[in-house]
Amino acid sequence: MEMIFRWYGKSDPVTLENIRQIPGMKGIVSAIYDIAVGEVWPRETIRELKETTKRHGLELSVIESVPVHEDIKLGKPTREKYIENYQQTLRNLGAEGIKVVCYNFMPVFDWTRTDLAFDLPDGSNALIFEEAVAQKMDPRTGELELPGWDTSYTKDELNALLDEYQAVDEEKLWENLAYFIKKIIPVAAEADVKMALHPDDPPFSIFGLPRIITDQDSLERFIQLYDSPYNGLTMCSGSLGSIASNDFVKMLRYFLDKERVNFVHARNVKLVGPRSFQEAAHLSSAGSIDMYEVIKALSDFNYHGPIRPDHGRMIWGETGKPGYGLYDRALGATYLNGLWEATQKQRNEG
Ligand SMILES: [Mn+2]
**Using one digit for the tens of pLDDT, what is the confidence trace for 158-190?**
889 999 999 999 999 999 999 999 999 999 999
Ligand 1: centre distance to CA 320 (Å): 18
Q: What percent of the chain has pLDDT over 70?
A: 99
How far apart, in Å, are the Cα atoms of 318 and each of 9, 12, 38, 121, 327?
19, 13, 34, 17, 8
Strands (DSSP E) contained in 146-275 are: 194-197, 231-236, 261-266, 268-273
110 tagged catalytic:
no
Give the three-class secondary structure for 275.
coil
Q: Which amino acid is at 17?
A: E
pLDDT at residue 134 in the model: 86
Instruction: Report the separation in Å between the CA atom of 199 and the middle of ligand 1, taken as the mean of its atom positions.
Output: 8
Cite the beta strand spans of the chain per DSSP E.
2-6, 27-30, 59-64, 100-103, 115-119, 125-129, 194-197, 231-236, 261-266, 268-273, 276-280, 306-309
Average pLDDT, the chain: 94
- From 82, 103, 215, 265, active-site residue: 265
Question: 210-242, pLDDT tens digit by residue?
Answer: 999 999 999 999 999 999 999 999 999 999 999
- Tell whether the model's pLDDT for residue 143 goes beyond 80: no
Residues 6+ apart with CB under 8 A from 276: 128, 129, 130, 131, 132
**Tens-place pLDDT, residues 266-298:** 999 999 999 999 999 999 999 999 999 999 999
Give me the mean pLDDT over the 30-52 stretch: 96
Is the pLDDT score of 65 beyond 90?
yes
d(CA 172, CA 170): 5
- 34 contacts: CB under 8 Å, gap ≥ 6: none
The 10 Å Cβ neighbour count of residue 322 is: 21
Cα gap 286→279, rounded to integer Å: 9
pLDDT reported for residue 138:
84
What is the full DSSP assignment across 34-54? SS-TTSPPPHHHHHHHHHHHH
Q: Is the pLDDT reported for residue 32 higher than 80?
A: yes
Residues 104 and 199: their CA atoms lie apart, in Å, by: 7
pLDDT band at 348 (very low <50, low <70, confident <90, very high): confident
> How many Å lie between the centroid of ligand 1 and the Cα of residue 349?
32
Catalytic position from the list 226, 324, 327, 335:
324
Each residue's pLDDT tens digit, 184-210: 999 999 999 999 999 999 999 888 899
pLDDT the model gives residue 148: 67
Ligand 1 centroid–CA 182 distance in Å is 24
What pLDDT sits at residue 206? 86
70-105: pLDDT as tens digits: 999 999 999 999 999 999 999 999 999 999 999 999
Q: What is the CATH architecture assignment of 2-106+168-268+289-349?
A: Alpha-Beta Barrel (3.20)
- Which tops the pLDDT comparison, 138 or 64? 64
How far apart, in whole angstroms, are the C-alpha atoms of residue 290 and residue 93? 35
Dist. CA 265 → ligand 1 center (Å): 5
Assess whether pLDDT exceeds 80 at residue 146. Answer: no
Angle at 97 between CA 230 and CA 111, to 5 degrees: 60
Distance 239 CA to ligand 1 centre (A): 6
- The question of whether 102 is a catalytic residue gets the answer no
69 labelled catalytic: no
Q: Select the more confidently predicted residue: 134 or 335.
A: 335
How do beta strands 231-236 and 194-197 pair?
Answer: parallel
Question: What is the spatial distance between Cα 285 and Cα 34, in angstroms, rounded to a whole number?
Answer: 39
Decide: 111 and 211 in contact? Cβ < 8 Å. Answer: no
Residue ranges covered by each domain of the chain: 2-106+168-268+289-349
